[in-house]
Structure 1
Amino acid sequence: MRPALISFAVIAAASSAMAARAAPDSPNLVLVIADDCTKYDTEIYGGPAKTPHLMRLAGEGMNLTRCFQASPMCSPTRHALFTAKYPVKTGAYPNHTYVSDGVTSIASWLRSAGYRAALSGKTHINPPAAFPFEYLSTRPIPENKRPRQNPDFTAIDTFLGDCVKNKTPFGLFVCSHEPHEPWNKGDASKYLPAKLKLPPNFFDTPKTRAAYSRYLAEITYFDGQVGDMLALLDKHSLADSTIVIVLTEQGSSFPFAKWTCYDAGVGSGCVIRWPGHIKPGSKSDALVEYIDMIPTVCDAAGIKAPDDLDGRSFLPMLEGKTNKHKEHVFALQTSRGIHGGPDYYGIRTVRDERYRYVRNLTPGVTFKNTAIKTPWYGEWLAAARNGSAQAVGMTKLYQHRPAEELYDCENDPWNMRNLIDDPAFKNRAGILCDKLAAWMKSQGDKGQATEMEALKHIWKNAGDSVGEE
């Protein structure tokens, strides 16, 4: 059955006629999310990309150092974030996807509580009926082009002014398209290729350095968008009454990040500020997931959310009452349907506080994506053909993986040393393998059978265009 459609224009018009009214002291929400940004590349997590506004926000709030998402791709990540459910449960597990009939999102829950629910920038969520946001833009944008847009801060400025004037609380999602390729924004001259320290899972070539320079510049450009948003909150005297969350999303399209289930792929930077409730300059190492963000906000604002969510509130942690939340976090990757990808290449993973276990469903299949066709990866392959042992090792590890992998994330944060065959870790691998199997069963995830159904869950196959990734 084709999902129902609803016009964003109708949603916007209806926003002024909400039946419910929020309590006068209800906090507002601003959630800013990047696009393809490896957390380790940002200044706040020890990387070279300068992020002064994110650093400022961390000084005024809490830095969550172990935040993870349910998929290392844009579309399933955003569906999981907004619905507080894991991807297979909602049907939104491949890229360019959509949720099944009956799935609701934070947009509906906010509106039912008397909030305005708005989004500006990248969407990549479908069908619109399940995500009844006001779409903020000063210019008309065709729906199939929205996934590539950046936030419109002029429209956001107007929106905030209207909310202040009418004393209406709001939930605002500021969705950047940066630093997604093609890495053509920001000042790359600030990051001279020859002087850069490359991540340990990169093979060092001139084109790799040049691409990394442009990518870092675009992270700083995204940080400027964070600054623009914070400035607007200050302008409208909303900073003290607003919960601000900034997320870096999944890793970049460089190898071993996006499209993979390593920490650099499904790990996310996360900073949260809520004046008067979160201790400035605090840090938490608790395990949290994107699916927990919205339940936490609902808990803080007294908003009723459905009872069947996978995510759960970590408000006590934010308020300093505990530094624990979850014992395990989970994620999956469905490569079926991605641009330049294989016919199928499913990955499932679970992580505890220290170890990550990865199961590759079809280890005999060669992994590929759009990154394989880039000039810089071409240099990696050329070096491998010319006998470089490091290049051979890197390209083999990226494109030809074993059935199981196990990593000590404390001593190996880039997940480069597979411990699966080490007898000392046999028990740990077994425990995590069982946890992963139980999670998959709870989600209705049948592994390879679920992978083969993925194309049915891509939006264009439901009858509409999805735009670009």
Structure 2
Amino acid sequence: MLKKFWKFCALSLALVIVVKAGMGAESEDRPNFLLVVFEDMSPHIGAYGDAQARTPVLDDFAAQSVLYEQVFTTAGVCSPSRAALLMGVHQQSIGAQQMRAQQGVTLPDGSRVPYTAVPPPQMKAYPELLRAAGYYTSNNGKTDYQLDLSITGGPFTIWDETNAGHPWRGRGDDRPFFAMVNLVQTHESRNFPLDLDPDSHPITPATLENLRRERAGRETGIEAGHDPATLELPPFLPDTALVRAEYAQMLDNIFHTEQILARLLAELEEDGLAGNTIVIVTTDHGDGLPRAKRSLYDSGLHVPLMVRWPDGRGAGTRNGELVSFVDIAPTVLDLAGVDVPEWMTGRIFLGERAGPERGYIHAAMDRHDEVPDYMRAVRDHRWKYIRNYRNDQPFFRHLAYRDMLRSMQELWRLEAAGELPPHIAQYFTGNRPGEELYDLRADPYELNNLAADADQAAQLDRMRAAMARFDARTPDWSADGELAMVERMWPDLERPETATPSFERLADDRVALYSATPGASIGYRIADGPWQLYTGPVELRPGQTLETKAVRYGFTESQIKRVKG
């Protein structure tokens, strides 16, 4: 009886997907999508008002696009932010909020167990939903969604190809495409000095190799021209020669990395695809600098987002609505003509079915590598409220990876010497307050906490209420601690395995596939061809061999089953 039930569920889902894919396939105007994600980059773009940043490519792209001024990620660090981007829900509601899950939860004996996030069974990454609707989906660069034990792995059903030779040219047919390109060249690690001690961190040798290779591969004859001596630093960083050099290097990295965007845009033109491709450019969170990355301040959450329409609509205009990273998934699905699942919490922010502007954006901060944490934030156009659930610790604690930055080393040196100004020293010398409140109009760098200011009591109560409403409708899997969460996702701290698919032979040489694991996605291939996403019965001719496997997000892939035609 149970087997028949799972067969019915799988067949019903497949039929729904096939109908949707068939409807989409009849339309000749389904757009392509190119999503370009710079890493670790706040809006250091001339078009965003940064007069110090030399970004001619991004400025030119902005002139062709709608520029969104108030876009915020759901975390100030990559893995949790990318999980929210991919799934269209906040990372703490699916077990993907710690940085990183793969580095492990700490057990009572001090050992660590790596784990994966296991979202509820009905949830699928939006590129997989696009793939089910007939799109070719590709990813270049890291995946890093916390759904696998590798930052370059992940459920095999999400993408047709990962790290292919080219983002869209490998599709081999006329299917519309969704191509995601991640540009690691602006990552925090690219701000490390070349003379870094190779023993300072386990990944330092590989990082230094990447740095040297990328710099050697930069185009000759073009110079970023960011002079450390003339730069204005944000007030949360100390003004020293080493910090200035690092800040200039960060801006140089952006300048050189935007050349990759220029090549991608030129290739769209060469292939005759620019007239039917929506291009979205953003970043995965704010700057790879202390008190930016890994924070809930705007320096860690505020990112650029520009959308270029094929027909040029809105080119050169600006939009000041609040946009959250969880809004990207439902927006892309809607533009592609794919139904937006009810479980997605974001809003459609552009296109004919754009919803009303959101009143608030929400963000979360949890463990970073070896340093535990638990903070939540809510922001509107003017005010930011932060709740510190672990206010028994200062903001800055030693974090091995971050400590490789020259700016962080300078912060530690100056703190030890007692030479930091009070507004920076506070991040070292005292425990964090339980609550923080900032007037972003008067205090854009969030240095003056107004939570204890009686004149702002009404604003504090209003923002507390906004956070409470969000908490009431959004599960927070950090509430009971990381270990309790992992034990729910991985019973006995063992990674669950997806059940091997079963099959049923149908008429006309067709085969139907099923999995007994709720929420499992099924893939198949014939004659050692590429893995395809299963959406309905497959033709299997006499003499052919079909291979099939399944995966529930966060689980181990199933064993492969072979079926002879």
Query: Is 1:209–2:240 an aligned residue pair?
Result: no
Inter-partner Cα distance in structure 2 for 1:30 and 1:451: 35
Inter-partner Cα distance in structure 1 for 2:355 and 2:225: 37
Q: Residue type of the partner of 1:49?
A: A
Using the TM superposition, give the Cα deviation of residue 379 of structure 1 relative to its aligned residue in structure 2, in angstroms.
2.3
Using the TM superposition, give the Cα deviation of residue 178 of structure 1 relative to its aligned residue in structure 2, in angstroms.
2.7
Q: Tell me the residue number matched to 2:118.
A: 100
- Which of residues 118, 123, 126 in structure 1 aligns to 2:143? 123
Structure number with higher helix proportion: 1
- Which of residues 159, 182, 190 in structure 1 aligns to 2:225? 190
Query: Is 1:43–2:46 an aligned residue pair?
Result: yes
Q: Tell me the residue number matched to 2:423.
A: 393
Q: Tell me the residue number matched to 2:186.
A: 179
- 1:383 alignment partner, SS class: helix
- Which of residues 418, 432, 452 in structure 1 aligns to 2:449? 418
Inter-partner Cα distance in structure 2 for 1:300 and 1:365: 45
Using the TM superposition, give the Cα deviation of residue 57 of structure 1 relative to its aligned residue in structure 2, in angstroms.
1.6
- 1:348 alignment partner, SS class: strand
Shift of the 257–132 alpha-carbon distance from structure 1 to 2, 3 Å rule, reads same
User: What CA deviation, in whole Å up to 9, does each residue of 1:428-465 have, x standing for no partner?
Assistant: 1111112112212322226552455466699998599x
Q: Tell me the residue number matched to 1:384.
A: 415
Query: Is 1:170–2:177 an aligned residue pair?
Result: yes
User: What CA deviation, in whole Å up to 9, does each residue of 1:200-219 have, x standing for no partner?
Assistant: 22111121112112211111
Write out aligned runs for 1:49-88 (5 A).
Answer: 49-88=53-92
- 167-176 vs 44-53, greater mean Cα deviation: 44-53
Shift of the 323–416 alpha-carbon distance from structure 1 to 2, 3 Å rule, reads farther
Using the TM superposition, give the Cα deviation of residue 114 of structure 1 relative to its aligned residue in structure 2, in angstroms.
1.1
Using the TM superposition, give the Cα deviation of residue 137 of structure 1 relative to its aligned residue in structure 2, in angstroms.
3.3
Unaligned runs of 5+ in 2: 1-19, 102-115, 149-153, 191-210, 498-553, 555-565
Inter-partner Cα distance in structure 2 for 1:81 and 1:228: 25
Inter-partner Cα distance in structure 1 for 2:139 and 2:386: 34
Inter-partner Cα distance in structure 2 for 1:323 and 1:110: 21
- 2:321 alignment partner, SS class: coil
Using the TM superposition, give the Cα deviation of residue 273 of structure 1 relative to its aligned residue in structure 2, in angstroms.
0.8
- 345-354 vs 374-383, greater mean Cα deviation: 374-383
Query: Is 1:30–2:60 an aligned residue pair?
Result: no
Structure number with higher strand proportion: 2
Q: Tell me the residue number matched to 1:156.
A: 167
- 252-261 vs 19-28, greater mean Cα deviation: 19-28
CA contact (8 A) 1:94 1:455 kept: no
CA contact (8 A) 1:82 1:294 kept: yes
Q: Tell me the residue number matched to 2:381.
A: 353
CA contact (8 A) 2:168 2:179 kept: no
- 1:313 alignment partner, SS class: coil
Unaligned runs of 5+ in 1: 1-17, 139-153
Q: Tell me the residue number matched to 1:236.
A: 271
CA contact (8 A) 1:191 1:216 kept: yes
Using the TM superposition, give the Cα deviation of residue 84 of structure 1 relative to its aligned residue in structure 2, in angstroms.
0.6
* TM-score (ref. length: structure 2): 0.69
Write out aligned runs for 1:244-259 (5 A).
Answer: 244-259=279-294
Inter-partner Cα distance in structure 1 for 2:80 and 2:228: 33
- 21-30 vs 91-100, greater mean Cα deviation: 91-100
CA contact (8 A) 2:93 2:477 kept: no
Inter-partner Cα distance in structure 2 for 1:274 and 1:403: 44
Inter-partner Cα distance in structure 2 for 1:104 and 1:427: 40
CA contact (8 A) 2:88 2:329 kept: yes
User: What CA deviation, in whole Å up to 9, does each residue of 1:99-131 have, x standing for no partner?
Assistant: 425231112211121111111111112243375
Q: Tell me the residue number matched to 2:535.
A: none
- Matched residues, percent identical? 27
Q: Residue type of the partner of 2:167?
A: I
Query: Is 1:114–2:120 an aligned residue pair?
Result: no
Using the TM superposition, give the Cα deviation of residue 389 of structure 1 relative to its aligned residue in structure 2, in angstroms.
4.8
Using the TM superposition, give the Cα deviation of residue 50 of structure 1 relative to its aligned residue in structure 2, in angstroms.
1.9
Aligned length: 420
Q: Tell me the residue number matched to 1:290.
A: 325
Inter-partner Cα distance in structure 2 for 1:158 and 1:85: 31
Q: Tell me the residue number matched to 1:3.
A: none
Inter-partner Cα distance in structure 1 for 2:321 and 2:366: 27
Inter-partner Cα distance in structure 1 for 2:489 and 2:317: 40
Shift of the 121–373 alpha-carbon distance from structure 1 to 2, 3 Å rule, reads closer
Inter-partner Cα distance in structure 1 for 2:448 and 2:494: 39
- 2:268 alignment partner, SS class: helix
Q: Residue type of the partner of 2:462?
A: I
Using the TM superposition, give the Cα deviation of residue 252 of structure 1 relative to its aligned residue in structure 2, in angstroms.
2.2
